Copies of this chain bind each other. A is one copy, B any other.
Amino acid sequence: MLSNCFDELRKRSALVHNITNYVTVNDVANIILACGASPIMADDPEDAEEITAICGGLNINIGTLNQRTIPGMFAAGRKAKELGHPILLDPVGAGASSLRTNTAVDLMKELHPTVIRGNISEIKTLIQGSGTTQGVDADVADAITEDNLDEGIEMVKAFARSTGSIVAVTGAIDLVSDGNQCYVIRNGRPEMGKITGTGCQLSGMMTAFVTANPENPLEAAAASVSAMGLAGEIAWSHMSKFDGNATYRNRIIDAIYNMDGKILSEGAKYEIR
């Protein structure tokens, strides 16, 4: 049950280490607090390892990556792996530059993240960059729609099997799979794309969910995706005439702050395939 995952998160106090971009970092911190966990940010190679050691989970987001923070990502990732902490990789902009693509692929190969979360283009880049070709069809349109849903599910499942990671592809329809099952989630609103960092926020919150639910990482990841989309729906229902994307950003975090397992179970729209 997705709702249980949220209730567990509210009960436990997950501490999440985030090495993330400076564009959306404040919203990431606030949404992690909103969902009942606590954030820490540390990206210096000398600092990242020790900070990871006192946390329960690690969120690596490669937006605004640079030559100083990349070693910090690997150092933290190796320590988290050694300690058995869940690791989430958000390959922001993979495919947009070779530094991003190569860094994301290297992180994926070395750290074997618990979860990889990205948009469809980023995930496709990782699929190609990893040298696997099964399930990857250049004909699959970039967005996952009702029309190409079956192919999308197969692609995500295959990538999850080949990497051993849970793979979450978010868009109009969200897919979350461990290679065996695939959650198909239909929460959310298109206006969320007009806010910077809803994806980054989801990655932070997903790391918290997975950290607080070590026995059910697939369900926990799916719960966070559904919760984020539902927060977008709830927040939109509270928008007034002159509100725009800045207010919408605040209301989404507020909706997570006020959400619990019961609200999630009533609003979650998903099927398992």
Contact = CB atoms under 8 A, between A and B. Distances in A.
Interface stretch (A32-40, A169-177, A212-220): A32-40
B23 A29 contact: yes
A97 interface: yes
| Copies of this chain, count | 3
Contact of A244 (B98, B247, B256): B256
A251 B257 contact: no
A34 B256 CA distance: 23
Interface stretch (A126-134, A159-167, A179-187, A194-202): A194-202
Interface in A26-60: 26-27, 29-30, 33-34, 39-44, 46-47, 50-51, 54
Given A64-B42, A67-B68, A196-B26, A100 B47 contact: yes
A231 to B, nearest CB: 10
Given A26-B23, A194-B33, A194-B34, A242 B238 contact: yes
A253 B246 contact: yes
- Among A47, A98, A253, the one with the most B-chain Cβ atoms within 10 Å of its Cβ is A47
A243 interface: yes
B33 A195 contact: yes
Interface of A: 21-27, 29-30, 33-34, 39-44, 46-47, 50-51, 54, 63-68, 93, 96-100, 194-197, 234, 238, 242-247, 249-258
